[in-house]
């Protein structure tokens, strides 16, 4: 018996668009509710959400037997952290602020067992191997890992061809908020200059045969990104869904109108 198949990675390889949602509440209960809400993937956010290792592990568990694939974003792409997340069963990783091919190559090695990488052998203790009940896990794990690197700065944009060319990088995800901030447009990811840069990053990513990802909380912006070529996209966050639903409920009852900031304003 082999490592679990990575349905998200397979879908990207087959060119099937994957719709996602951001999970930053840090709630396995919320993750379980979202796991059967029709999304192809759920990003468990350890960079901006209050998600520590036990919390992330519990959310991976909540998604485990659902049609929604767990994508995990650690605060940084550190090998020791990725090792723990891998053993907890994470197979798809979103790594923030990647700005060089060297950084991308180090991430690939951190996610693979020797001789192709440096991942420590300990999955027998974790969900990854179904708690040591997957005889062929070690031999099959590498192929089911999906690495998505975030390009979200001018430095990352400048290195996009080198980054996208790295063997083992499966996709490039643009963080529009951080990219806008680094471009001097803090809080305005919908600015024309940011959109133009996003288009160029997507174009170069596709040229290297890699998947293109992005996120927004604005459905209008989502259409723009889809037209730019996004292969996978998050169209909201659990936090935003909760806040906007509560606000909309109150405003609707009071007859108030709701306006949206350009680009979602994230």
Ligand X SMILES: O=C(O)C(=O)C[C@H](O)[C@@H](O)CO
Binding region for ligand X (CB under 6 A): 22, 45, 48, 150, 152, 175-178, 215, 266
User: What's the CA gap between 65 and 29, in Å, rounded?
Assistant: 15
Q: Which of 37, 14, 11, 8 is nearest to 236 (CA)?
A: 37
Cβ-based burial of 61 (10 A; exposed 0-12, middle 13-18, buried ≥19): middle
Comparing CB distances to ligand X, the nearer of 3 and 239 is 239
Phi, psi dihedral angles at 188 (to 5 degrees)? -130, 65
48 is catalytic: yes
Which of the 8 DSSP states describes residue 204?
Answer: H
Q: Which of 48, 65, 69, 116 is catalytic?
A: 48
CB 8 within 8 A of CB 70: no
Least distance in angstroms from the C-beta of 47 to ligand X: 6
Residue nearest to ligand X according to CB distances in the complex: 175
For 24, the enclosing helix (H) or strand (E) is none
Helix (H) / strand (E) element for 142: namely none
Q: Is the CB of 48 or the CB of 206 nearer to ligand X?
A: 48
**Least spacing, CB of residue 4 vs ligand X, in Å:** 26
Longest dimension (CA), the chain: 63
CB of 48 to ligand X, least distance (A): 4
* CB closer to ligand X, 152 vs 188: 152
CA-nearest of 200, 151, 203, 202 to 176 is: 151
**74, 51 contact by CB (below 8 A):** no
Q: How far is the CB of 128 from ligand X (least distance, A)?
A: 26
CA distance linking residue 205 with residue 229, whole number of Å: 10
Which is nearer to ligand X, 75 or 135 (by Cβ)? 75
Contact indicator for 211, 171 with CB cutoff of 8 Å? yes
Nearest CA to 74 among 61, 87, 84? 84
**CB-wise, 3 or 195, nearer to ligand X?**
195
Min dist. Cβ of residue 173 to ligand X (A):
8
Could you list the active site residues? 48
């Amino acid at each position: 018996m082999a490592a679990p198949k990575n349905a998200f990675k397979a879908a990207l390889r087959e060119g099937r668009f994957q719709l996602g949602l951001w999970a930053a509440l840090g709630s396995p209960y919320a993750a379980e509710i979202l796991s059967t809400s029709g999304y192809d993937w759920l990003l468990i956010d350890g960079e901006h959400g209050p998600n520590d290792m036990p919390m992330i592990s519990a959310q991976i568990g909540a998604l485990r037997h659902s049609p929604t694939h767990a994508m995990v974003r650690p605060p940084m792409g550190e090998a020791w952290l990725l090792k723990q997340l891998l053993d907890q069963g994470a197979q798809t990783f979103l790594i923030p602020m990647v700005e060089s091919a060297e950084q991308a190559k180090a991430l690939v090695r951190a996610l693979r067992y020797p001789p192709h990488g440096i991942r420590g052998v300990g999955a027998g203790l974790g969900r990854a191997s179904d708690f040591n009940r997957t005889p062929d896990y070690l031999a099959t794990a590498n192929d089911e890992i999906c690495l998505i690197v975030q390009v979200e700065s001018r430095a990352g944009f400048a290195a996009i061809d080198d980054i996208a060319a790295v063997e083992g990088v499966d996709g490039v995800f643009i963080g529009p908020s951080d990219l806008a901030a680094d471009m001097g447009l803090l809080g305005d990811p919908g600015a024309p200059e940011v959109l133009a840069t996003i288009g160029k990053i997507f174009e170069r990513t596709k040229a290297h045969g890699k998947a293109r990802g992005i996120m927004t909380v604005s459905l209008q912006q989502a259409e723009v990104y889809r037209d730019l070529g996004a292969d996978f996209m998050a169209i909201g966050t659990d936090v935003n869904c909760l806040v906007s639903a509560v606000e909309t409920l109150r405003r609707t009852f009071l007859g108030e109108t709701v306006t949206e900031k350009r680009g979602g304003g994230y």
